[in-house]
Amino acid sequence: MDSTELLSAISLIYLASWFAYVISSTTRSLWMGRVASLIMWAGWAGNGAGFFLRWMESHQMGHGRIPLTNQYESMVLFAWATASVYLLLELRYRNRIIGAFVAFIPFLSLGLGSLLFDTTIRPLVPALQSNWLTAHVITCFLGYAAFAASFGVSLLYMVRQRLDPEGRMAKVLPSEDLLDHLNYRAIATGFPFLSLGIITGAIWADVAWGTYWSWDPKETWSLITWLIYAAFLHARLSRGWRGKRAAVLSVIGFAATLFTYFGVNFLLSGLHSYA
């Protein structure tokens, strides 16, 4: 089995885990919740194995490089990073319901990545042969993954608000305060990573082309995303920007993240023809 086949199979494992999370949170079955976590961990391990297998395959082809250099590989990394961030959240806050709102993201990322994009391993053109590129991609995607988690938490917050506060579901869900806090923590984690991603990208551009910032659409959209999350973090310093409004801003921020990641590649043109 090569890495591509393995990773397509893993996307189905993520799907199964998402189902299990949804079932466990609607039926409140602890047993089902454990199964969901177990499947998620299996998906996480398989995702990582696929990543390293692909790395080895590139070495066997004689032009070894870390698999972080095209749309497909970036989506494999995004799935892995999102799963990692989610599992950390689950370990830290001992709550599986967030899984029902986050676990579909690694599934979609791996699944769509395998279906829509070229999965062949190609050697690196000279501009991509840089350690800054590796640092740039990894930090950006850790940021994106934290933002994905904040997006899932914000969705959950909005659902929680619409529920009857005395109802059965409302009682199992984390409190609004906790969700709001998680949303903030996720963004306060993602923001430094996105900053580092933008900075390492600028250093790379400076080393490769002698220009650290050229207002290329991808760069510009990463700045727009950064500004939205900076607005989120500063808005929290004044009262009245918690809860609902924070959740809305977080969803807008994630929309900008997705546009930076995908929209720019397909709708606008620029230097970044890949992630």
Per DSSP, 1 falls in state -
Partner touching 59 among ligand HEM, another protein, none, CB below 5 to 8 Å by kind: none
**Closest separation in Å from C-beta 20 to another protein:** 29
Q: Is residue 206 at the binding interface for another protein, with CB under 8 A as the rule?
A: yes
In the chain, what are the helix, strand and coil shares in percent, each to the nearest 5? 80, 0, 20
125 binds, among ligand HEM, another protein, none (CB under 5 to 8 A by kind): another protein
Whichever of 125 and 237 has its CB closer to ligand HEM, that residue is 237
267 makes contact with ligand HEM (CB under 6 A):
no
DSSP labels for 102-167? HTHHHHHHHHHHHHHS-----PPPGGG--HHHHHHHHHHHHHHHHHHHHHHHHHHHHHHHHS-TTS
User: Which one of 9, 199, 255, 258 is in contact with another protein (CB under 8 A)?
Assistant: 199
Tokens, residue 269: 């043109």
Q: How far is the CB of 192 from ligand HEM (least distance, A)?
A: 8
Interface residue with another protein among 223, 248, 251, 255 (CB under 8 A) is 223
d(CA 137, CA 201): 8
Q: Token pair of 61, please?
A: 């082809």
Binding to ligand HEM, residues 188-247 (CB under 6 A)? 230, 233-234, 237
Nearest-angstrom CA–CA distance, 117 and 71: 7
Nearest Cα residue to 176 out of 159, 192, 151, 193: 159
Q: Which residue, 91 or 237, is less far from ligand HEM as judged by CB?
A: 237
Q: How far is CA 266 from the centre of its chain?
A: 19
- 91 forms part of the interface with ligand HEM (CB under 6 A): no
If the CB atoms of residues 30 and 233 are measured against ligand HEM, the closer one turns out to be 233
Binding flag, residue 122, ligand HEM (CB under 6 A): no
Q: Check residue 62 and report its DSSP letter.
A: T
- Return the one option of ligand HEM, another protein, none that residue 127 interacts with (CB less than 5 to 8 A, by type): another protein
The answer to the question of residue 127 lying near another protein (CB under 8 A) is yes
Nearer to another protein, 27 or 211 (CB): 211
Q: Is 115 exposed, middle or buried (0-12, 13-18, 19+ CB in 10 A)?
A: exposed
Asked if residue 160 lies in contact with residue 95, where contact means CB atoms within 8 angstroms, the answer is no
Q: Under the rule (CB under 8 A), what is the footprint of another protein?
A: 62-63, 122-123, 125-127, 129-130, 177-178, 181, 188-189, 191-192, 195-196, 199, 202-203, 206-213, 215, 217, 220-221, 223-224, 227-228, 230-231, 234-235, 237-238, 264, 268
Q: Under the rule (CB under 6 A), what is the footprint of ligand HEM?
A: 230, 233-234, 237
